[in-house]
Amino acid sequence: MPSLLMTNRTLVIVNTTGRQGASVARVAAAVGYHVRAHITTKLSEKDGAVAKELRELDNIEIVEGSLEDNKLISRLFVGAQRAFINTISWGDEVAIGKALANAAKKAGVQHYVYSSMPDHAVYGHDWPSLPLWSCKFTVENYIRQIGLPSTFVYTGIYNNNFTSLPYPLFCMKLQEDGGFQWTAPFNPDKPLPWLDAEHDVGPAVLQIFKDGLKKWSGHRIGLAYELLTPRQVCAAFARGLKRPCSYKRGPITVEVPIPNGYRAQLEGIEVLFGKHEAPYFGPDGKAPEEALELWEGYRGMEEYAREVFPLEEAANGLTWMH
């Protein structure tokens, strides 16, 4: 690994090819941060377009390698003042999350923003843990225990999850009349929190750093800009695409191969938010008030459907928009 550059505005980002990390990297580099962008080798190959874009931006230093490499982790935060961490299941996410936090504390990172999620089981009510969320909550608690100066963002459902490809939960299935139908287990009239991750995470996280720990130390921020029911989501799509769009409440169907961990997550979602209709961020979650304090220029669902959804569909080889 090349020697790490250091300035008094160095920001470490983990999972920089993901929607959250890439959003933070783009905005931070544009306003003059030196961004130390970690990319795993596998993700660099998988998300080639994003990795290529990041390599071409000014103020971005790419650090590539496995987060199971303790030597890499120990060097990642050297000389850095701030960090944005969004781990995913590359392996033992809890062990990796703890190792990152330990290294950041040892390096003297002044503000550590960790993308967490709630573990609904801690609230009782027979609510299940979601396996891809509960590990993040475990890491969040560890970060608090070791006294690392930190803020925690809980992201809403990505607008960008929608696709007409046959992926489970957020498939906008193309209909014979040219419209779309979304089938999911959510109550059609219960609001859910939504976020355009690529557009809005970066500006919000940069404002967290700007406001600093005096305002956000130890705080959980529900990062979502719209509370929309499934019916309202479909109405926004209909307006944006100028095509019919309807919602149907039904079970999650899996028509393509998915990892076992994601299958367990989907099963939990069906129980937690379908059967129990639990609040998405837990009973203490707040949105969108605090998110709007951070960033008011968000991209809403209708704008996403009109401006972005057709481009993402075309990038996936689909032609319905023509």
Q: What would the pLDDT profile of 39-78 be if each residue is shown by its tens digit?
A: 986 544 545 788 888 888 999 999 999 999 999 999 999 9
Q: 255 by DSSP, 3-state: which?
A: coil
In order, the DSSP letters of 181-237 are EEEESS-TTS-EEEE-HHHHHHHHHHHHHHH-HHHHTT-EEEE-SEEE-HHHHHHHH
- Amino acid (1-letter code) at residue 30: A
pLDDT score recorded for residue 43 = 47
User: In a 3-state reduction of DSSP, which class is residue 43?
Assistant: helix
Give CA–CA dist 54/60, Å, rounded.
7
pLDDT of residue 44: 47
Q: Rg of the Cα trace of the chain?
A: 20
For Cα atoms 89, 278, 188, give the angle at the middle one, nearest 5 degrees. Answer: 105
Low-confidence ranges of the chain (pLDDT < 70): 1-8, 41-47
293 to 85, 116, 241, 299: CA distances (angstroms): 21, 19, 30, 15
**157 CB-near residues (< 8 Å, 6+ apart):** 192, 193, 194, 195, 224, 280
230 Cβ neighbours under 8 A, 6+ residues apart: 182, 184, 186, 187, 188, 192, 247, 249
pLDDT at 295: 97
In the prediction, which pLDDT does 260 show?
78
CB contact at 8 A, 58 and 67: no
pLDDT in tens, 173-187: 999 999 999 999 999
Q: Which two tokens stand for residue 119?
A: 């573990």
What are the E-state strand segments in the chain? 10-14, 34-39, 60-64, 82-85, 111-116, 150-155, 157-158, 172-174, 180-184, 192-195, 220-223, 226-228, 245-249
Instruction: Check if the beta carbon of residue 206 is closer than 8 Å to that of residue 27.
Output: yes
